[in-house]
Structure 1
C-alpha cells in the first residue's frame, strides 16, 4: 500500500523526527537500554536531551526519538524498527517474512499509532485480531468493537519498615478483634483463584476504572515507568470516561514535539 502525505497527516504525528512526552510523568517514550532486539520494551524515562535542534542533539539520545515511516508505522530512530504490540506492552519488532496462516503472532503488519492533538491521546489500530488466535480457532470480531489507547503506569515507592509493621499489626491484631463484634473476616483465597490470577493484581494489571486514589500515587524515585495498551469498548467509552479520575486521564495524554533542522529565529524588538 502506498502511503500518501495525506495518510501520514492522518496519523496525527508530524513529518520527520519527534519525541513523545507523557503528560502525567513528564518523561519521554524511550527504547529501553537503547536495545535493537525483538521484544525490547518501550518505556518512559527522563529526557536526556533538551535541544530540539538536530545539529545540537547528542546522537546517543536517539532512542527517545521516533518517526512515521513510508508504510505508516511508528518507528524508533535509534533501532530503525517498527513499534509493535505484544500482549499489552509496546515493543520493537523487526520486519518478518510472511508465514502461514497469515497474519499470526510472529508475522503480521505493524499496528497503526494515531495521535490526536485535540485530546492528547495515542490510539492503536490493528489490521486483524491482535490476540492472533491459533489455527482452527473460530475467529471473533469482538476486537473490532474495542478501542486501544496508550497509557503510562504509576509506580509507588517501596513501603518503609514502619508502614509494613503497621500493615502487619492491622491485619494480625485488629482483624481478630472484629470477630468479637460479630463481623466476619474474608474467606481465604481458593487455590483456583490464585492459579487464575484473580487476586493480588500488580499495579499495571488493575483496570483503569477500578484504580483507587492510592493506586494512582506515582512517587517512586525510580527513573523509569511502564507503558501499556488498554482496551476500551467502543460502546462503553463515554461511560468509561465518566468513571476515570483526572490522574488516569492525564496518564493517557501525550505531547508530541517535532525536532527542527534549524534553530528558531528570534524576533528583534
Structure 2
C-alpha cells in the first residue's frame, strides 16, 4: 500500500488545498486554534513550496493527514470537522452519552480523487446525529458528501437596483399583456430563509445556471461548504459549478528541485 493510498488520496507530509474555481486556498480563519474556528478560503499567503523558504505565518494554510486518517491544520495541530455544513477546527472531545452526538462523535475522514478533483467527506455515523428516540435510518450511507466553494456577488449599486426596478416594472406588465405564464424563481437567499435541508439545496444549486455562479465580490474571503448529494440526484451542473467542486492538492517540498542542473 502506497503512502498516498494510506492518506486517502492526499500526498504524505504537508500540503496546500487550492480551490480550482477561486484560486484561493483553505485557511484557518485568523490563524486561530480555538475549537470551532471556521476554515475558509483566502488568497494564498506564500507562493514558495519549499519548506525552508516559506513564511511560518502561512502555516494556517497548510494541512496534513495524521496517523488516524484525519485532516489536520499544521498551525493549530487540530483536526477538521463538519459543523452546520461548514469546515471547522475540532479539538478532541470526551465521550458524552448517548454517543455519537453533535458534541462528541468520530471525526470524519476526508478523501481526494485526483481523477475528479473532488474532496469527499466520509462519516462513520449519521452526520445529522439523530437523538436516540428517533428510529435509525441508513439512508445517509448512500449519500455522497463533497466540498465546494461558495461564490460571492459584489454588493448591488444604486444603478443596479434602478435597472432591476425598471426591468421589473416594464417587463412584468408586458408579459401579462401577452399572456405569459406567471412564474417565480426563488433566490437562494429566499430559499435559505424558509429553510431547506442540504440535499434540497444541492438540487437547487444544479438548477441555478450561469448568472447565479458569478463570483465578483472584491472581498478576499470565500466560504467552503459540504454538499449532500443523494444517489437519485443527477449532477447536471454548469461549468462554473463543476469547478467549484474541484480542488488542487499541492504538496510542500523539503528541498529545492533540480532541473538540468539548475536549482529552482
Asked whether the two chains share a fold, i.e. TM above 0.5, the reply is yes
- In structure 1, what is the Cα distance between the partners aligned to 2:50 and 2:121? 29
1:165 and 2:158 aligned: no
Matched with 1:259 is 252
Query: SS state of the match for residue 141, structure 2?
Result: helix
- In structure 1, what is the Cα distance between the partners aligned to 2:175 and 2:259? 70
Q: Indicate how the Cα distance of structure 1 residues 144 and 79 shifts in structure 2: closer, same or farther if over 3 A, else same.
A: same
User: Which residue, 114, 126, 130 being the options, matches 1:129?
Assistant: 126
User: Which residue, 74, 77, 85 being the options, matches 2:82?
Assistant: 85
Post-superposition shift, 1:21?
0.7
Write out aligned runs for 1:219-238 (5 A): 219-236=216-233
Matched with 2:150 is 153
Q: Check the 8 A contact 1:81/1:94 in 2, yes or no.
A: yes
Query: SS state of the match for residue 255, structure 2?
Result: coil
- In structure 2, what is the Cα distance between the partners aligned to 1:138 and 1:8? 36
Deviation readout 1:118-158 (Å, 9 max, x if unpaired): 11110010000000012311111110010001111111111
Long gaps (5+) in structure 2: none
- In structure 2, what is the Cα distance between the partners aligned to 1:7 and 1:127? 21
Write out aligned runs for 1:196-211 (5 A): 197=194, 207-211=204-208
Long gaps (5+) in structure 1: none
Q: Indicate how the Cα distance of structure 1 residues 195 and 12 shifts in structure 2: closer, same or farther if over 3 A, else same.
A: closer
**TM-score between the two structures when normalised by the length of structure 1:** 0.85
> How many equivalent pairs are there?
254
Post-superposition shift, 1:264?
1.2
User: Which residue, 49, 57, 77 being the options, matches 2:46?
Assistant: 49
Post-superposition shift, 1:185?
5.5
Post-superposition shift, 1:208?
2.4
Q: Indicate how the Cα distance of structure 1 residues 179 and 85 shifts in structure 2: closer, same or farther if over 3 A, else same.
A: same
- In structure 2, what is the Cα distance between the partners aligned to 1:181 and 1:123? 48
Runs of 4+ in 1 over 4 A off after TM superposition: 4-8, 176-187, 193-196
Query: SS state of the match for residue 48, structure 2?
Result: coil
Measured on the aligned residues, the alpha-carbon RMSD in Å equals 2.6
- In structure 1, what is the Cα distance between the partners aligned to 2:252 and 2:135? 46
Matched with 2:243 is 250
Post-superposition shift, 1:163?
1.0
**TM-score between the two structures when normalised by the length of structure 2:** 0.87
Matched with 2:21 is 24
Query: SS state of the match for residue 63, structure 1?
Result: helix
Q: Indicate how the Cα distance of structure 1 residues 63 and 195 shifts in structure 2: closer, same or farther if over 3 A, else same.
A: closer
